[in-house]
Amino acid sequence: MLAVCGGLHFYIFPVVMAAMQEDLQVSLTAVTATIFVWGVAGAIVSPAMGAALDAWGPRRVVAAGTLLQAVSLAVVATSASILQVYAGFALAAVSLCANTYIAISAAVSALFEKQRGQAMGVAMLGLGVGGLVLPNVTQRLLQLGWQQVYWIYAGLALLMLPLIWWGLAAAGGPAGTSGSEEVGDDGDHGPAALLRTRSFWGLALGDGLTGLIFSFFTVHFVAIATESGITAATAALFFGVFLFLSSPGTLALGVLADRFSVWPLTMICYGLPVLLVPALFGLPELVFLGLFALVPGFLAGGRAAIFPLAIGYSFGAPHVARAYGWLNVAFLFGTAVGPMLSGVLHDRSGNYTSSIWVAWVLGVASVILVGLIRPERGWAVAER
């Protein structure tokens, strides 16, 4: 499910962006602002989606989110202006909060007490698969026109609905209950209590900075490489490796989480990529680009599996949906700001040097902040 729903906007947009810009006759700034609109809209609705998962359960929320995703794709497909594209992507952000990683994290936390890490890794594997497959499929479909591409994907989203309804049958009740026991919204575990914990702010600020850095490197990866003198074809090849390796990284870190403590694995996922950011100063030597593509790419997938487990470590599995909904606000804001910030820095300096230094400094800060997580007193028994 994540291989399809998780990438139907974010993974295909870079492929259709140039055609969309030319057809709508807008500037590059205007068309790339789509990601900013997407990130901000998602950040606004994310807490509500966490609460909805607690109240109605993953099955209903994911199905409704997928229906909305089909609508959002249709809105983009019929766009005659960039404002309508913005509207479609705003709806897409709402749908993705409902039918992707927050919901899947809640469902896995509810359904698995043993081997939860492996289950989380397998479930999140789809994000990496989508990153590998969807851009290539979209490139081939683009000869039909970018609006026709969005119509095709709208139909694909609708086809996913029966599979989603069947697949999440066991998690049909309120999140964290497997359909049998409702999670209460008492004062001890409500949003106010969540915001009073050290772990919440460590995860929110640390992961938010990571989102900023990751979106910067994802959007500008090819440009950083080609600016250093590497050919566009070689840069695209290494970028594909970077995206692909998130899949085995997701599975591997999920399996390791069943055997080792969540805290050190979290520090590895966030810390090692930061240590390798300065490797980009070694370009155009391909060994440095390869090192950056291999390790951060692998551990970016690991982060997808580890982050919900880190939430369970701090707050307990029954509270993953609600906590993830609030924590996702920071990540989406970071994702929205990262590419734009690096664009401003590049315009002022004429190169990516200052952007890479800023990414490294913010990365160090993110590791320190994420390291603050702990099993919070008064919450459910946490995962060790």
Q: What is the pLDDT of residue 133?
A: 76
- Helix (H) or strand (E) holding 150, with range, is helix 146-167
Which stretch of 186-200, 202-216, 321-335, 355-369 has the lowest confidence by average pLDDT?
Answer: 186-200
Higher pLDDT, 16 or 155: 155
- Whether the CB-CB separation of 155 and 32 falls below 8 Å is answered with no
CA 118, 123, 126, 127: dihedral to nearest 10 degrees? -90
- Per-residue pLDDT tens digits for 251-270: 889 889 888 999 999 999 99
Per-residue pLDDT band at 103 (split at 50, 70, 90): confident
Q: What is the pLDDT of residue 3?
A: 55
- Per-residue pLDDT tens digits for 51-89: 887 788 777 888 898 899 999 999 999 999 999 999 999
Q: What is the pLDDT of residue 9?
A: 66
| Segment 329-335 mean pLDDT | 90
Quote helix, strand, coil % in the chain, to nearest 5. 80, 0, 20
Which two three-digit tokens encode residue 297? 């790419």
Residue type, 330: A
| Segment 327-346 mean pLDDT | 86
Query: What sign for the dihedral angle of Cα 26, 32, 35, 36?
Result: negative
For residue 236, is pLDDT > 60? yes
| Segment 308-319 mean pLDDT | 89
204: buried, middle or exposed (CB in 10 Å: 19+, 13-18, 0-12)? buried
| Segment 218-223 mean pLDDT | 81
Show Cβ contacts of residue 322 under 8 Å, excluding neighbours closer than 6 positions: 50, 51, 53, 54, 175, 183, 189, 191, 194
Q: What is the pLDDT of residue 33?
A: 82
Q: What is the pLDDT of residue 382?
A: 42
Q: What is the pLDDT of residue 149?
A: 92
Rounded alpha-carbon distances, angstroms, from residue 321 to 64, 152, 237, 241, 337: 16, 31, 36, 31, 24
Q: What is the pLDDT of residue 176?
A: 45
- Whether the CB-CB separation of 154 and 91 falls below 8 Å is answered with no
Question: Which of 78-87, 172-181, 332-341 is the most confident on average?
Answer: 78-87
Percent of the chain with pLDDT over 90: 37
Using the structure block, give the residue that is written with the tokens 């109240």.
Answer: 55
Which stretch of 130-134, 195-199, 238-242 has the lowest confidence by average pLDDT?
Answer: 130-134
Distance CA 351, CA 87 (A): 33
For residue 349, is pLDDT > 50? yes
Q: What is the pLDDT of residue 131?
A: 66
Q: What is the pLDDT of residue 270?
A: 95
Which stretch of 115-124, 169-178, 209-218 has the lowest confidence by average pLDDT?
Answer: 169-178
Percent of the chain with pLDDT over 70: 87
For residue 181, is pLDDT > 80? no
Distance CA 165, CA 173 (A): 12
What rounded mean pLDDT belongs to the chain? 84
Per-residue pLDDT band at 179 (split at 50, 70, 90): very low
Q: What is the pLDDT of residue 5?
A: 60
| Segment 189-217 mean pLDDT | 91
Which two three-digit tokens encode residue 224? 């950083």
